[in-house]
Amino acid sequence: MKKVLVMASGFGSNFEAIVEYFKNKDVCIELLSDKNNAYVLKRAKRLGIKSYIIPFNETSNFFLKHKFNLVVLAGYMRILPKEVLNLAEFINIHPSLLPKYKGLNAIKRAFMSGEKVSGITIHYVNEEVDCGEIIFQAECKIEPDMTLEEFEEQIHFLEHMHLPRVIEELIK
């Protein structure tokens, strides 16, 4: 059985999309959060998924004790040091077409920029923020009459549709 760890610090909608996608497949999904009050932990409990609350400074020790076929950063709001990145294969999902709008608030920055197209990027993780090799990108249009909330919904739809499929390809 393949083991996938999702690392998340917040709401966890991508985590839930991953869990639902792999529900009847031979893949074990687990969750790690660095925040004991993250909503994603409630999702994990409701979905019956094993979860860990690991302070950021203990991340390296965690990966020395636990092995995974793939680690997915899905709203994990920390920059992992090289010593941790050397312990597993890490991918990240980012809500823009990298290399544009790296870092925080990418959806809002892309929307406010006057861009006509944005999207999502799934990439390998390295020590630099949102700079790893790109695995997959999907585009969506920013329509002139669209609200920020509508654009955000479109981005999340793309994330939920594509991230589980990319994970599946990578762990085959």
Domain ranges of the chain: 2-171
Tell me the pLDDT band of 135, cut-offs 50, 70 and 90: very high
Please give the structure tokens belonging to residue 131: 């700079």
What percent of the chain stands above pLDDT 70? 100
Q: Which of 129, 69, 140 is nearest to 105 (CA)?
A: 129
pLDDT of residue 162: 98
Tell me the pLDDT band of 68, cut-offs 50, 70 and 90: very high
Which residues are identified as catalytic? 94
- At 16-62, the pLDDT tens digits run 999 999 999 999 999 999 999 999 999 999 999 999 999 999 999 99
Tell me the pLDDT band of 123, cut-offs 50, 70 and 90: very high
Order of strands, sheet of 134-141, starting from the edge strand that comes earlier in the sequence = 51-53, 27-33, 2-7, 70-73, 90-94, 117-124, 134-141
- At 81-117, the pLDDT tens digits run 999 999 999 999 999 999 999 999 999 999 999 999 9
| Fold held by 2-171 | Rossmann fold (3.40.50)
Mean pLDDT in residue range 140-168? 97
Asked if the bond preceding 99 is cis, omega within 30° of 0, the reply is yes
Q: Which of 75, 67, 69 is nearest to 40 (CA)?
A: 75
C-alpha atoms less than 13 angstroms from C-alpha of 123 in its C-beta half-sphere: 20
User: What are the φ and ψ backbone dihedral angles of 158, each rounded to 5 degrees?
Assistant: -60, -45
For residue 55, CA distances in Å to 1, 6, 32, 35 come to 27, 15, 10, 7
User: What are the φ and ψ backbone dihedral angles of 144, each rounded to 5 degrees?
Assistant: -60, -35
pTM, two decimals, is: 0.97
Look at strands 117-124 and 90-94 and give their pairing.
antiparallel
